[in-house]
A and B are shown apart, each in its own frame.
Chain A
């Protein structure tokens, strides 16, 4: 399969300032042949097996040695620096890479089980979504919304102006949303309140699995409430689309009830809450 270059990387466009996301063309799947040269790493495990089998008797290789050597060679193949920018971790082996990735580069919010790739973003999320202290400072007009980009010191009065900054300064796509507004039915909110009392922090990697399996009602109720307070306090410019006719109490029908792993309908639908069912 070919690797298509997004249009924004072509020669002619480099002279113009990059347009946030409108110039990007998705590199769709193309079925093309993939050839590997004899010394390609793709063939390394087969080559190793060849030598092991041919020399097993002559070199008196024990089964344990065989296993160990195979592991070592595989680790060598996956000896790399973590691909995440700024992470200096050196890793040996795919297992180590995956474990490292899932423990250091995914951080799970134990309140609403959203997953973030860095603890910084998790911190920001927790402050902005689950912390009433934060909401209070916002209400008093302090610029509490930090820029999401690590290293950028900018702070904003509200989510919307931060959003604008991300789009203008850091070329984030306009449709990007740091907060998901999820709205639960009254019943679910009650269930979640009960759950909150029993909730405990869990291990990172397993948490993202486990939390997904826990009843979906553990979605951000607090998030919803504080988010709505924030909205009530912010100015009209925070709404990037048509007017704000958000009622303070919303019931939102639940569909697709499944035992596991189905989260609230996500996506950009900010306006879902603006209509009553029926």
Chain B
């Protein structure tokens, strides 16, 4: 679009620039970025970008010159060092009559120099790694050569255009302007920033995503106004001013952050916005925080007391000396030697001198060697930790890495362990177990049997790993081959997809990605009853369609079944990819095919009833023409046509297998892979695929689903309302290709969905039916939870055009809002997600990690209190807690569920009373159980255990209990319990709990967390210098 702007644009931009200059002088709240290509010399005076930091990073603290003074200055922050130097210097004062003052210097100099050498070495290492990073290569567009040239990272400047290839690390904060992905998407992995290993989508700036030619940096003339560099990773605001004066909003979805890795995207081009130390990653990196261990803190306290004792002693001696000298009056005794200078000292003065002398004499009171010896002990300890055979993992040949050297001894001091459930206690491998559709339960027995065989296979791990090829698992073989044929454009992740669990585990450790699932999660054996139903339903739909009947007349039960699977398939943010080809090839194929098969909805698509103004779907299909892989598309189209024929012939082979075309390399099976932000989503999509409802493609504006009999259907994706922790659900708004209705599919936690369905009964008969289904589903959900399954509810809502239009208006307003956009979007989502029609529920198993029960039992035996903080449903959490031995069936469980703060207070009071009476009773008569415990919904009577209590508290009650007034009571209850389980808690609550316990009880706490939710815990703990990075 850039070329068509003429002079007026230039003038405008000039004016704008001028205005900016004025602005920047007054209040420089924004940063303006121009293209460097507009200026002949990157550093030239006229380049407005010249003031911004360049990409050369320097994390070293010292230079050669500044090392000595700066390092000494830093060392003198340590009180002990100042003291020792003071003592050493005091020795040189003649009046204190020190013997051998030079000797006193020796230990101080030794300590200072050893520390200085250590700092020097660390700084040198930083310098080397800086250099390495600064000299990494990156493709930067060169103005003179008119192409991308390799340059060092340090040469990148704000306003440069850089081209990033797959698996490259992003050198600076880059605004994404073009992507090889036809949808203008770019996938990045942010593991280095926040530890989240799933892929995140980034989008090309809106105006550039519509470009129909290869992005040409020289044509870029727009000006970017954005925020000043800040350290908020999740915020980026700004706008791009085109020559035409048009403004495009920029948000964090457009920004590629430094340090992230490009995945699954062949190429991306962007303009550097922030570079070097101004990037968000660097601003977040405040250097290693110095964490002081408990021992060190205690030592400081003791040294402080030593100082006080010393001063008191010296004062005592000095005063005594003064008095003693005074008693002789004018007549000096023989032994009182007058000072060399002349007449005798006055008593007061000699007292002062004696005070200093005494400090020298008593200087041993403060142990200078203590600091040195403690350092040495710590080094030895770390050495032994490293050498411990028990902390060595044979499979990965790795041992424990101790990142924070100075807090290792705190490990033995832990009294409380806070752990999240998912990913720590459990593997975070979601396995679809069972589901309920329209109040009918499908138990998936075959699937359970299949999982059992996997568990058996685990016991024969060695065999699996050694000769995986002999086992009838095609995946494990092919994955190895696919590793070999992997070329640059393909993500390294593929070797994750391995056969046995042991291998998968190894792969997960090696590659640190979790985007692909193991076959255990993928190959779901469908329940025959449900399978039949789906087929029946689909074939009816097919019949109806072929007979030209309107689609809405399908029996409600059947339509719900098919809707359930459609919802499973499309209500997510799963990305489809094929193992051996870049992601977009798969999409190309679909693009070519869709007009062939679903011509009707193509017609429907372009009818005037469309409410969304954008014609992106048409343009996106045009995009394929510019694909560099155009040559492949014709090759690929024939097998796909074949596959559709097969679909017509009602052959019921597994759908994805049919995708395997001749174009794919012989080793690879052309199976589709799903990359999801959360493993639950992937599990559900795989489950749906088992019923031949496969997700085959996802674009920002449409989702393609393959259904049995019906073949590929393309749903127009109108909106996606993403998951958030408060709503606990996500929704998609689609236009149904068969009925043309606008449907909202919602998936979320049962509590979040169930509340929203109840109101939806208008018609008496239907409402009754619906209520019945609701009750049934709720029962099944409770059963699932009792089995320790993660439950999700699926619901839909059909919107009338008027409703949609009404909602859309407000939603668009919310989207375009600058201020409190998140809040408005949240409210908008709430407006949409109501009057839902419940379709069904699913139960997903999150398997426990190896050795978790043993570990927890051992920890409890050692007298540690283990708290598990989870976002799961109460029943699920309790069940998992039982299976991982966190709760014991011997134990009595206090459950706190309160609706109001008052109720919570009452409950806590009651618990305290109960615990107290329990203790009293136990000491008097252990068998007595005759008091009332009306607040414990389920209580296992204990006769043998003395105070084996477990506390279960849900998120809402936790919120009340964490209130200032109640927190003491809550702690009192929690302390007397052996284990505490906080369910349905939000990340913030988790961190608050940890903070509360640490601050109030003054104990050592260890919080363990991995994934995005738990980041808060780690961050909070980092601030309070408590976290230990222990990686096995």
Asked if A and B are interacting partners, one says no
Give A residues with C-beta under 8 Å from B. none
